[in-house]
Amino acid sequence: MKMVMRIVALGVLVLLPGCAATRFSAPEAALEASVAMESPAGRFRIEYAPGHEQEAARVQQAVTEALPKLERWGTLREPITIKVMPDHAALEAAVRQHGYSWLRAWSRYDEVFIQAPSTWGAAGATQPQLNELLLHELTHSVMYQQAADRRGWSRKQIPLWFREGMASYTAEQSYRWVSLEEIARHFERTPGSDPVRRPGDLYRDDSNLIYGVAHHAFAFLVKRYGEDAVRGVLREMKGGQEFPQAFERAIGLPPDAFERDFTRYVRWRGFRGGRVAPRASTPVE
């Protein structure tokens, strides 16, 4: 896929997104340069601090790699700004998510914040790791833009299992998370837990479990109803429905019934066993 790219000088950025419906001034924001990218699938601007040209080039490559895989869900309706934050502290400050040492990126309707790949641990990120992460994050943005407009995307009541499951499924990240067998064992150890509908504090304390549940729930949805049904959910939301109503109209049953089906499938080991996968050390948002 051909890209038309240009280097653009920008002023100091002072507005970065906070929670779903607010914006705020980011401390010491100094992303003064950018790379612009245009393609049939969407438009992008990668913003970065002076001296971080190599970081921006690696992110640019990751965007190029992601585009063909994103098209299964549709095109981006609005340009995406990707902000390369110089370190983990800057990322946490920008997205107002503190205490998540594993966090490497954060996505919104038309913005993606990503920690500079050279700062991911002692050795930094490899290009395949960066490609995978950015595909995950851009899937979020495609989902939000296919489901809503800029004003309504955060009010669609999309559950975590669907948001994160769709992103993990698209990025083929099942190898990172707990297996179905491990999830079944979690239910046996903690019968009162409901990581599908009530992820709660597990998102912070056992993120591998929550991402694994999300991935496998979404894969279960696709296996039963197909990818076109997922696109139908997005179309129904774009047409004005919130997630619960959109899901029922597109799939044919309410989401809580589907969630119960998936939970029974895991509890009763309908997957017919499964190996225990190694846990990932650096989950993504």
Domain spans, the chain: 4-147, 156-267
Burial of residue 152 (CB within 10 Å: 0-12, 13-18, 19+) is: middle
Residue of 148, 117, 121 lying closest to 238 (CA atoms): 148
CATH number for the 4-147 domain, one of 3.40.50.2000, 3.40.50.620, 3.30.2010.30, 3.10.20.30? Answer: 3.30.2010.30
Give residue 28's region: left, alpha or beta (phi > 0; psi -120 to 50): left
Residue of 251, 248, 265 lying closest to 213 (CA atoms):
265
* pLDDT at residue 110, rounded to an integer: 97
Q: β-strands 4-9, 15-17: how paired?
A: unpaired
The predicted pLDDT at position 73 comes to 97
pLDDT of amino acid 54:
96
pLDDT at residue 21, as a whole number: 32
Taking the model in full, what pTM does it have? 0.85
- pLDDT, block means (10 residues), the chain with 285 residues: 33 26 45 91 94 96 96 95 96 92 94 97 96 98 97 96 98 97 95 92 87 98 97 98 98 98 96 52 49
